[in-house]
Structure 1
Amino acid sequence: MPNDQPQTVTILGAGAWGTVLANLAFSNGHRVRLWSRDGSSTLEEVLQDAQIILSAISMKGVGDVVAQVKSFAVSPQTIFVTATKGLDPKTTLTPSQIWQTAFPHHPVVVLSGPNLSQEIQQELPAATVVASSVSTAAEYVQLVFSSSRFRVYTNADPVGVELGGTLKNVIAIASGVCDGLHLGTNAKAGLVTRGLTEMVRIGNFWGAKTETFYGLSGLGDLLATCNSPLSRNYQVGYQLAHGKTLTEILASLPGTAEGVNTCRVLVQKAQQQNIPIPITAQVYRLLAGEITPQQALDELMLRDIKPEYN
């Protein structure tokens, strides 16, 4: 499949992330079509003869767009790529699982990593991961998006790569709270490290490999999101710590903070399966207005003492 000929790449979603990915493919000489609900091109037009269909739409729009795409004829050779980070609140499915269910005979590739779109737009160096159960599909996508400023690695654990990018958003909210309360470097290091443990625990339940969470799409994305004011999820936590309500914060936020919805889904899933997720549970209570940021901190610090690797 991979060759050095220009490919036709359709990007669904013209937000910051979709636009950045479109620019990366375009800079590599590929034919790029960028679609949004408000654009002039129809979905049918942009899908025609596309070798790659990449979805960069927010989680709440995935199901609807998948249904629309399914109603049109798509080439049997088309590769689907998902760059959405979230969980469906009704089914708890990941975006790639939604795409794969709709297109069971097509390769689906997950693209995720420590990728703050504003930095990539400024052509600052970055790295990401493309993962699929079909290795040739991941390698194909790797070639289309790799550049001297954007290093793309392949991975054979799409579930782990996708969950790394999704679960870290909840920890990023907690991290924003930590900084907003001026709790210091020690507290932040402890929070992020225990947050990673929580991510691994949830990921293993979903069938993800532990080692994936120590790579770019897990630890890498966690570090970037928990330490940058550019992160929308970090901003939610930071502003909550400064006394703003969730409604006020979300109304002024540019784009979607996927961690808010992800947190709700995770708590529901964890209760059903009896998975201990103490940080996520406190973030959920904080987002619901049940406790203050300081009370959430106290709850975490006063938990029963235990061995680190239990």
Structure 2
Amino acid sequence: MTNQKLVTILGGGAWGTALAVLAKANGHEVRVWSRRSSETLATVIQGADMILSAVSMKGVRAVTSQLVSSPVSPETIFVTATKGLDPQTTCTPSQIWQEAFPTHAVVVLSGPNLSKEIQQELPAATVVASSVASAAELVQVVFSSDRFRVYTNSDPLGVELGGTLKNVMAIAAGVCDGLQLGTNAKAALVTRGLTEMVRIGVHWGANMETFYGLSGLGDLLATCNSPLSRNYQVGYQLACGKTLTDILAHLEGTAEGINTTQVLVQRSKQQKIPLPITEQVYRLLQGEVTPRQALLELMLRGMKPE
């Protein structure tokens, strides 16, 4: 393969590993780094055409601050595949990367991508978004295959927020299923959840249309309907009477929706954005209401036009 790229993937979890397999299958040289790696970060990024970050939200700042002092080539493209918000600054991962590397192209990769299904080689699609079109196109080429379809987009903030905000809705959807409230209730919840995602996204400067694409509605449908989703599991098990502490002790990986809910509530209060579903998920996670009370509160809200 003449156009072989060197791709360094930061994060050895299920998502980072799945993406590494996709790039390798296309003939690219792939290095994977995690906190447990024997190699240093400076070594694995040497000569990389692309650095893809699939670390959890809480690890993003630590990794960027380590990399700032490393010898990164000016041509290197950064790709972020983390879904979350920084608790200190309420920034998205791509904003943290761009702040650390202001002259580099930053690409957001997000979509309805449950890692386990991708590892099983089941078909999936995703979105890569950047303000630098050529960078998004290069990432598209590196990861596209007959089982992983990659679309480009020019609204990185919208693509990133779609993947982040739907985790909150997935907790609510899990509660809905755990309480066995039926298909009608779930359809109403997910639809109103999308409205809430759009409201936040547009307020923060994203394009409304982005939320009706793969990284918004697509990811919302995947996450709200799958027991493979960690955020869905949190809601489902809370509805079945387990405590949050107990659920998190047995959960594989991070349920980013928990932190995202807290950051959203804090930011929506400052900016006066009404977020009824997020508010109830927050109260549920804080132990202020039971799962049944939380959903009842949503059903009893004041009458209004759709």
TM above 0.5? yes
Question: What is the Cα deviation at residue 217 of structure 1?
Answer: 0.1
Give SS of 1:174's match. Answer: helix
Aligned residue type for 2:286: A
Question: What is the Cα deviation at residue 42 of structure 1?
Answer: 1.2
Does residue 144 in structure 1 map to residue 142 in structure 2? yes
Aligned residue type for 1:268: Q
Question: What is the Cα deviation at residue 65 of structure 1?
Answer: 0.4
Match of 2:228 in 1: 230
Give SS of 1:29's match. Answer: coil
Does residue 94 in structure 1 map to residue 84 in structure 2? no
Match of 2:43 in 1: 45
TM-score normalised over the length of structure 1: 0.98
Give SS of 2:128's match. Answer: strand
Match of 1:8 in 2: 6
CA distance in 2, matches of 1:44, 1:268: 36
CA distance in 1, matches of 2:102, 2:2: 28
Aligned residue type for 1:21: L
* 5+ residue gaps, structure 2: none
Match of 2:282 in 1: 284
Question: What is the Cα deviation at residue 4 of structure 1?
Answer: 5.2
**2:18 maps to which of 17, 20, 40:** 20
CA distance in 1, matches of 2:62, 2:198: 30
Question: What is the Cα deviation at residue 41 of structure 1?
Answer: 1.6
CA distance in 1, matches of 2:285, 2:75: 43
List per-residue Cα deviations over 1:39-88 (Å, max 9, x = no partner).
12211110100000000000000000000011101000000000000000
Question: What is the Cα deviation at residue 226 of structure 1?
Answer: 0.1
Match of 2:115 in 1: 117
Question: What is the Cα deviation at residue 297 of structure 1?
Answer: 1.0
Aligned residue type for 2:24: F
Question: What is the Cα deviation at residue 198 of structure 1?
Answer: 0.1
Aligned residue type for 1:295: Q
What RMSD, in angstroms, separates the aligned Cα atoms of the two structures? 0.7
CA distance in 1, matches of 2:153, 2:262: 28
Question: What is the Cα deviation at residue 180 of structure 1?
Answer: 0.1
CA distance in 1, matches of 2:2, 2:145: 13
Match of 1:204 in 2: 202
Match of 2:168 in 1: 170
Q: Which moved more, 1:61-70 or 1:3-12?
A: 3-12
Match of 1:252 in 2: 250
Match of 1:67 in 2: 65
Question: What is the Cα deviation at residue 298 of structure 1?
Answer: 1.1
Aligned-residue sequence identity (percent) comes to 76
Match of 2:291 in 1: 293
Question: How many equivalent pairs are there?
Answer: 306
CA distance in 1, matches of 2:53, 2:182: 38
Match of 2:263 in 1: 265
